[in-house]
Structure 1
Amino acid sequence: MTIQTSLPDPNLVPSWPPVPEPARIAGLGTAVTDHSYSQSDVLDIFGITDPKIRSVFANSAIERRFLSLPPTGADGTPLPEDQEDLLAKHKRNAVDMGIRALRACLADIGAEPADVEHLCCVTSTGFLTPGLSAYIIRDTGMDPRCSRADIVGMGCNAGLNALGPTASWAVANPGRLAVLICSEACSAAYTMDATMRTAVVNSLFGDGAAAIAVIAGDAARTRSTQAARDGSYDTSAALRPRILGFSSYIVTEAIEAMRFDWDSDQNRLSFFLDRDIPYVVGAHAERVVDRLLSDAGLRRSDVRHWLVHSGGKKVIDAVRVNLGLTRHDLRHTTGVLRDYGNLSSGSFLFSLQRLHTEGAVRRSDIGVLMTMGPGSTIETALVQW
């Protein structure tokens, strides 16, 4: 018997070992709560007259946000909400927005909930056990055999944290549909008082959810009747980006600069943002982005599209200056901030949706996705259309 010890003939095998097909973002959907408010609306509703606090709101570069404000009493003033009320608000709004974003995402590719075989849910605005994924699977009639994961408490960077394992699942299961949902009921994480600590947070965040469908391979397995009639999911309606790689960095010396922890004065959880966080993020942005690009043999000048988390005016400006970007490069980031505020983990997906709607993407374009959050952490992903 002869034992073959040499590798296969390269003329017969395209690559050895075979290179798996990268995952791609196939569909996208978003949702918000029912009511939007201007910055002056919020100040007036809560009767805030302190000129310093009003200045924080006025200079936020935010025009409107979608919020779920407390019910009002007979005199028209908002009633107090305790931590139990806020957890109930989180459950109600995060599940509702998550389902609506999911349905919009699936409609984008002609799929149905029964087609989803892996669901990852992200949130940082409340705590549920079981997690969001269990309620969404139950309430949409999704197959109860669907594998699922819940990522809780990572903050604004969590959308890209979750995209990595979601894309890996898709690569390991070619042709099978995975969905990532980021659902943030930021109204359930508010502390309303007259302090400057809460003013920065209260001027910034809004409610919103975003869902993306992720798939690898050319043929999509279908289980729903509609998709089976069509033969496959519709991923040709727009150019869909392939996910090529990730790079992250945690600024350990600034681990307490963004946090959501217990406020004993208010007897509830409260979010804290250090005033220097924009400069911390900006100072480390180059390190993460350049590593992401160098791993792929690229330079910043090769990147045509930048989808950066709408973390706040100062954060966006710090990233723009340190990476040498133009205001046009970050037009969708600032546009989302203006119209929705900071939507936490799903903000960058609202920007991606605007980019696709704009119709400016061309085949082979390179894009960078970038989010920032507690840790202090910077996450990036490289995509190509």
Structure 2
Amino acid sequence: MNTVAIIPARGGSKGIPRKNMRFVAGESLVGRAVNTARTAESVDGVFVSTDDSEIATESRAHGAEVIERPRELSGDEASSESVLLHGLRHLRDEESCVPDELAFVQCTSPLLLPEDIDGAVGKLRKNGADVVFSAAPFHGFLWRFSGETLKGINHDASRRMRRQDRETQYVETGAVYVIQTDGFIEHEHRFFGEVIPYEVPPEHSIDIDRPIDLDIAEKLLRKRKRNSQLEQLPDRPAALVLDFDGVFTDNKVHVQQGGREMVVCHRGDGWGLARLKEKGLPVWVLSTEKNQVVQARCEKLDLPCVHGTEDKEAILRGWLNEEEIDAQDIVFLGNDVNDVHCLRLAGCGAVVEDAHPDVFSAANLVLSTSGGEGAVREITDLIQEKLSIS
């Protein structure tokens, strides 16, 4: 292995109890760190060093291998360097692995991206450096007391230079350090030899140290996810096409004693669809289901509908030709294998959160809502937002 990531994650924490197991945006801090490191193309193996059984279980669940940390390295006094050196000895003795490079990744930086790790590794290799660490540009004015007198640290208080005229300084984010392993073992310190920063945006630099940091990270991660979803939509959506069962419904059917079938839909979907129709966006329902409940619900919502068809793609292509709409400008929302061709045809093929596993690979966008629980409302809100910024 050329590059191994080690993620220290002890169980104890004074500021935020059980910090590494706290959740932000639906994922634990340790689980998010593991996923980020595993997704980085430059990382060949991911190991979590921990003294805690729950963290060990969570780490393995996300695909990391676990290094059991001894008690003497589990307290507040243990340095990160001592934990990393222990981890490297474990890899050498137990895994017969001596990596060329060590990526030290911290759980407390949930805004870290796989691209940040890859960027730091790439910069280390390109520049032949010994250490590369993630850093955010800083242009603030720092002060400190010298005796009883307050003095400027990084500026002359009598000459306030404009931001653009000041030399850029860097704040260490603590998110990732990429280190030449041989030099680290020799010096037993993460900063040795040639040290250079890998610049990341300030919004990637939040470090979870106080309870309020969890709230800030939650909002930033939710915003990042929303922006990522919006990027998957066509630049100017021209139409929305929807499957019915498993999209409008939870894919279940209630059968009465006489054989009559009933389904449950989400009322919020209707409001979202109405808002799109007010903007003049065509919305169409395309379903293989033959039950008249599809037609009844679509009539209630005043939506054009074709149901009971076995060839959705052919129907969709015909409709697009008739309306002179480019397939790359439409959004199709489905949930099962009979939607695959339409998902691939659409400019944005979207699926509900609980879609069949076989259709995820055909989708550009996976919603955070399940069918029948507001998935249609989620996609209409996304399109509404996209239209407002297009």
Report if TM-score (shorter chain) is over 0.5: no
Q: Shorter-chain-normalised TM-score: which range?
A: under 0.3
Structure exhibiting the larger radius of gyration computed from Cα positions: 2
Higher RCO structure (Cα 8 Å, ≥6 apart): 1
How does the TM-score come out when normalised to structure 2? 0.20
